[in-house]
Structure 1
Amino acid sequence: MEMKTMVDEEINMHEEMRRAFALLSGKWKLEIMWLLNQRVYRFGELRKAIPGITQHMLTVQLRELEADGLLSRTIFAEVPPRVEYEITQKARGLGPTMEALTAWWREYGKSVPIKPSARGRKSKIA
């Protein structure tokens, strides 16, 4: 049996992190995950909670997060049908990352210039 060197068995962390970043890439995914980390949401509630997102883009982002196992979608057999979204146990593992980002923002957020959103649905909040 041939002996493998440590180099052969090493994980390429750059490639692995690229895969991790890809799971959460997209303009809205982190915001969706942050909201779902707090509670279960219905589609309409998410759309209202995220100024600027279109119905189509919210649907696309939710489908991708579900396909990646980061959120679950529950359909209730009612008329009209009710659909709820919640993060999965796998996504709950990102909780410390979300908490670290929140702490970082509390410390440095005021130093970040506010950029107007030029795309998507306009916020109704004045």
Structure 2
Amino acid sequence: MSIRLRLLSILPKLMGLGLRRFNDLLREFPEAKTRSAVLKLYDNAGNQVAFWLGFEGDKPVVREVDPRNPPYATTEITMLIDVFIKILKGKLDFRAAYLYDLIDIKSNDGLPSSYHFLLWSAFFDRLIEMLK
């Protein structure tokens, strides 16, 4: 099954959350306006998809990008699509997945990867609460 097809199991909830609750998330994570991320998802067959998440002015932007040549982002997060879906469905903790090397977090802004890990783990915790 393709990666995009696998994303359909969670995408409608994410889109609804983005439309209804984005400002709530932004109030909780104001540093998001100065951060960006490339989220790279792959499957066991080696297929990949990537998304750039960030801001253009005051407008939040999520767009699909080339996983082999993504634009600059302060953070790159890479994981199996199955891990991503399990995290968003609350079946796997983001921190546990990171500690078991199921998630790779790369810093591109000179700050330690642990800094990005802490920011993203808090964000995923809140996102999962909102998706319930």
Structure 2 length normalisation: TM-score?
0.26
- The structure whose residues are more often helix, as a share, is 1
Structure whose CA Rg is larger: 1
Say which structure, 1 or 2, has more relative contact order (CA 8 Å, 6+ apart). 1
- The structure whose residues are more often strand, as a share, is 2
